């Protein structure tokens, strides 16, 4: 039961961070969302900082496993990038910001330890995407006129930025389709024309 309560608290805290922001909820809010007493929250997490770090560490662990699964499941770089983009559309469909975007937007209000965890989260994105971009460049399935690290930064920036724009406008789903974004990362021979907005995906 101890483990189960801790897991529920971390899930509810993640949801609150991704919908309200880290600074905008209290332990009382978390206790209400989890359906337990506030004292039980303090039993598992003495401070809000400890809770925040635990949430990020848990998400990092899960996200790392998901990225590994993408590499095993999808055979080429474009397919892997589509799968990566799916993480952002899934967040939007659930009515939440991506955790990394929610944390970065409130960076100045985060404790130092959480800032470090947030930076590690972004490095995970960039390192994985850089490896995927490098594979795609080598295979000729992605454009090779820019370094893999530059393409990685552009790709994650487009999706993080689109998520924030949709959130700010009150849109439930970002209006940038993955193939629209991916089009600009393909070699010239594969992007002779504009993306087909009428093609079913």
pLDDT tens, residue by residue, 107-149: 999 999 999 999 999 999 999 999 999 999 999 999 999 999 9
Q: Which residue has the higher pLDDT, 179 or 130?
A: 130
Distance spanning both ends of the chain, measured CA to CA: 43
Q: Which of 78, 87, 72 is nearest to 151 (CA)?
A: 78
Every domain of the chain and the residues it spans: 49-190
Residue-averaged pLDDT of the chain: 88
Q: What is the pLDDT of residue 48?
A: 96
Q: Which residue has the higher pLDDT, 72 or 179?
A: 72
Tens-digit pLDDT profile for residues 38-74: 999 999 999 999 999 999 999 999 999 999 999 999 9
Q: What is the pLDDT of residue 98?
A: 92
Asked if 197 and 175 count as a contact pair (C-beta separation under 8 A), the reply is no
Asked if 131 and 139 count as a contact pair (C-beta separation under 8 A), the reply is no
Top-level class of domain 49-190: mainly alpha
Confidence of residue 92 (pLDDT cuts 50, 70, 90): confident
Q: What is the pLDDT of residue 149?
A: 97
Long-range pairs, 102-108, Cβ under 8 A, ≥24: 102/17, 102/18, 102/21, 102/22, 103/17, 103/22, 103/56, 104/160, 105/21, 105/164, 106/21, 106/22, 106/23
Q: What is the pLDDT of residue 1?
A: 43
Q: Looking at residues 181-194, what average pLDDT do you find?
A: 73
Confidence of residue 173 (pLDDT cuts 50, 70, 90): low
Q: What is the pLDDT of residue 2?
A: 52
Q: What is the pLDDT of residue 198?
A: 40
């Amino acid at each position: 039961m101890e483990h189960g309560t801790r897991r529920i608290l971390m899930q509810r805290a993640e949801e609150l961070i991704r919908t309200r922001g880290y600074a905008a909820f209290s332990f009382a809010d978390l206790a209400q969302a989890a359906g337990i007493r506030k004292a039980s929250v303090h039993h598992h997490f003495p401070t809000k900082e400890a809770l925040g770090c635990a949430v990020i560490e848990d998400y990092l662990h899960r996200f790392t496993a998901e990225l590994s699964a993408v590499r095993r499941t999808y055979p080429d770089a474009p397919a892997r990038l589509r799968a990566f983009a799916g993480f952002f559309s899934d967040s939007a469909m659930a009515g939440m910001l991506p955790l990394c975007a929610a944390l970065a937007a409130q960076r100045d209000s985060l404790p130092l330890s959480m800032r470090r965890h947030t930076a590690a989260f972004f490095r995970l994105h960039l390192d994985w995407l850089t490896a995927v971009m490098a594979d795609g460049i080598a295979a000729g399935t992605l454009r090779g006129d820019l370094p893999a690290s530059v393409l990685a930064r552009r790709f994650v920036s487009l999706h993080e930025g689109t998520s924030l724009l949709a959130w700010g406008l009150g849109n439930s789903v970002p209006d940038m389709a993955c193939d629209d974004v991916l089009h600009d990362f393909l070699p010239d021979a594969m992007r002779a024309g504009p993306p087909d907005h009428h093609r079913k995906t």
